[in-house]
Chains A and B, each alone.
Chain A
């Protein structure tokens, strides 16, 4: 592949991951390549990132894609395939010395020697998992620690930091192995395909319903920064909404300093009472990742509202506002605590929207008043039981606004036991599959 081809393919792969790159940026990137030359791969990486990216969150997607289109090497490494013990010895030495260049070279050898699977002579595929499983770098920890101590590289107070430092180096080596395996696979199966399929999306684009444990944990770490962004967005909306009318009294008072000439009109600032928010969250297994995340986000935004009340349900409903307030200290454990401490199920363990919503209207109807905005979170899959539209109607009559956020794709609404279309007739329902969609919706729909 020529360099311009590489560049356009790289841009194509980044776009397929949702990174918006215009032709202007592509031209800049080409100029960057020209100005920097190809001799130093790391400078090239930084130059392309500077010209093509617009935000920090895009970098974890960019780096592995860059590694595929501008690989460190081509094909298999030279020389004899590595012997396991020998490789482990050299890896231990590199990790002890924190020699990153050597670690990268050893990752290449490791995948070549232990990552291949299948029957053909040149291997059918390459697996980082298999490589690491055979090499077991984590078992080198004690040995590396002792080497460093013996060389006098760690003593006194900081010796207590040593093991964690080594663990982080081993983590870095694992990432190098993953990158190398991807490169080898791409050589067999085509770079374009691997760059699109084998590179993880940014956390805000992961589908809530398909996110794994690690991805959900990563997502939870974005709650605070996301809340900060949303709070400023809400503040801006609030400012826009209250701007306009001139406060005559303050304008005249202000004009005294300019000899009575009203140079600066003073705008009136209305101070409307902050709105109230009520959340009804389906926390059954299938959608709990989505509701946990949304609850944490709302809790992080709580000072935007005069009141926030949160209710959780599976087939019975219970208030969990208190659990949430204390839950910010331990967001990991929030979902488990809600399921342990609240009464969410009756006879059976599966979702029943009809019963839960009915119970809400009956027991907690007073929670909703003309100043409240209600968000219902859930997939509206009601296991074939009665959706209880009357209860929903009751809620919409009392509240100022009711919105429903559904973590399923719109095309799934109404399939199987989904009562989404029926509910969507009564309340405004939005597809909300990813954190990105959620933040756009929250920024737009939250009352100010």
Chain B
């Protein structure tokens, strides 16, 4: 058990620089208590990946990360035989029967463990981060489901490897694709949305310590207003932090029309969003 209470989760995550909302702290606490993987869904830049890193740091655990992308496969996710090394070994051509050679080249020495296998081997504590799960193909979900159900992996040539110590598992998703019902059922579900004003202010103060408190408040209010607009892509926490850093670098001590207009590109990535926001914030009225 990593944590004694929900407050303990909040306090220790905060000590590593991650400020958890009550929902985040509660769910992390339960994932630890119930020993279930945690599926974190939400828009980009709200701290999903960062959460897994923070938990690893708090737990003094090694972070094992499987970054998903279109086309990621078993060989990248689970394990792979080191073909080149095997070929070399075979062509080294010692005097031996094929059976002997085969036993030899399918031994641990020639195995390349990938994140899923790495995460269940060994006795040291680990956090397994399966990042951006929605980017992987549907077939990979079957594999994840297998590993996350029994925490064991069967390598036909070697036998079954069972975790002697289960990792704390975090899966993240931007919901670009609906993950399968079966995988969802294995997990506790946590949606991280945009933080409330107060929390976002604390995050900004923490990440951009040089920024004036009143300016931090204004920054968060403007971002809140942008999020209420009907934009193609509203700014996330990551953009709030970037903007705050930009303002600090520019030496701005309050917001005004020209500063906001000049730096709006840090918050909004689409030109039509910028135009819409300029109109709604009366930036074009000069």
| Contact surface of A with B, Cβ cutoff 8 Å | 20, 22, 24-25, 28, 31-32, 35-36, 42-43, 46-47, 49-51, 53-56, 59, 156-158, 160-161, 164-165, 168, 225, 228-229, 232-233, 236, 239, 258-259, 261, 263
Contacts and interface: CB of A to CB of B under 8 A. Distances in A.
Given A25-B185, A50-B188, A36 B222 contact: no
B165 interface: no
A50 B33 contact: no
Contacts of A258: 83-84, 87
Given A225-B175, A263-B83, 11 more contacts: A22-B185, A24-B185, A49-B189, A50-B27, A50-B30, A51-B30, A53-B189, A54-B184, A156-B254, A157-B218, A157-B255
Q: Say whether chain B's binding surface is mostly helix, strand, loop, or mixed.
A: helix
Interface string B198-241: 00000000000000000000100110110010000000000000
Nearest to A24: B185
B26 interface: yes
Interface in B34-87: 34, 36, 41-42, 83-84, 87
Given A51-B188, A59-B191, A261-B87, A165 B254 contact: no
B225 A164 contact: yes
Contact of B224 (A59, A160, A165, A263): A165
Given A31-B34, A228-B176, A165 B221 contact: yes
Contacts of A168: 228
A229 B33 CA distance: 33
B137 interface: yes
A164 B184 contact: no
A157 B225 contact: no
A91 B240 CA distance: 31
Contact of B87 (A32, A50, A225, A259): A259
B129 interface: no
B178 A229 contact: yes
Contacts of A239: 137
B74 to A, nearest CB: 13
B222 A35 contact: no
Nearest to B232: A224
Most A-side CB within 10 Å, residue of B30, B191, B221 = B30
Interface in B3-28: 6, 22-23, 26-27
Nearest to A27: B34
Contacts of A225: 175
A164 B228 contact: yes
A233 B91 CA distance: 45
Nearest to B26: A46
B190 interface: yes
B27 A28 contact: no
Contacts, number: 102
Contacts of B112: none
A101 to B, nearest CB: 13
A265 to B, nearest CB: 13
13 contacts: A20-B181, A31-B33, A36-B30, A56-B41, A56-B191, A157-B257, A161-B225, A164-B225, A165-B224, A228-B177, A229-B177, A229-B178, A261-B87
Contact of A43 (B22, B177, B178): B22
B256 interface: yes
B143 interface: no
Contacts of B6: 36, 43
A157 B41 contact: no
B260 interface: yes
B38 to A, nearest CB: 8
B138 A236 contact: yes
Given A56-B41, A228-B176, A50 B190 contact: yes
B282 interface: yes
A51 B35 CA distance: 12
A51 B282 CA distance: 45
Contacts of B22: 42-43, 46
B248 interface: no
A151 B255 CA distance: 20
Contacts of A51: 30, 34, 188
Given A32-B30, A36-B26, A261-B87, A156 B256 contact: yes
B29 interface: yes
Contacts of B30: 32, 35-36, 47, 50-51
A23 B196 CA distance: 34
A352 to B, nearest CB: 37
A229 B175 CA distance: 8
A156 B177 contact: no
B281 interface: yes
Most B-side CB within 10 Å, residue of A28, A55, A229 = A55
A46 B33 contact: no
A364 B278 CA distance: 45
B172 to A, nearest CB: 13
Contact of B26 (A28, A47, A164): A47
Given A55-B184, A56-B175, A158-B221, A35 B29 contact: yes
Nearest to B91: A259
Interface in B105-147: 137-138
Contacts of B218: 156-158
Contacts of A156: 218, 254-256
Nearest to B6: A43
Contacts of B228: 164, 168
B26 A160 contact: no
Contact of A50 (B26, B185, B225): B26
A5 to B, nearest CB: 22
B138 A54 contact: no
Given A20-B181, A157-B260, A50 B222 contact: no
Contacts of A53: 189
A286 B161 CA distance: 61
Contacts of A20: 181
Nearest to B135: A232
A50 B22 CA distance: 12
Contacts of A42: 22
A319 B2 CA distance: 63
A206 B83 CA distance: 55
A56 B175 CA distance: 9
A161 B220 CA distance: 11
A226 to B, nearest CB: 10
A36 B25 CA distance: 12
A393 to B, nearest CB: 38
Contacts of A36: 6, 26, 29-30
A269 to B, nearest CB: 12
Contacts of A158: 218, 221-222, 255
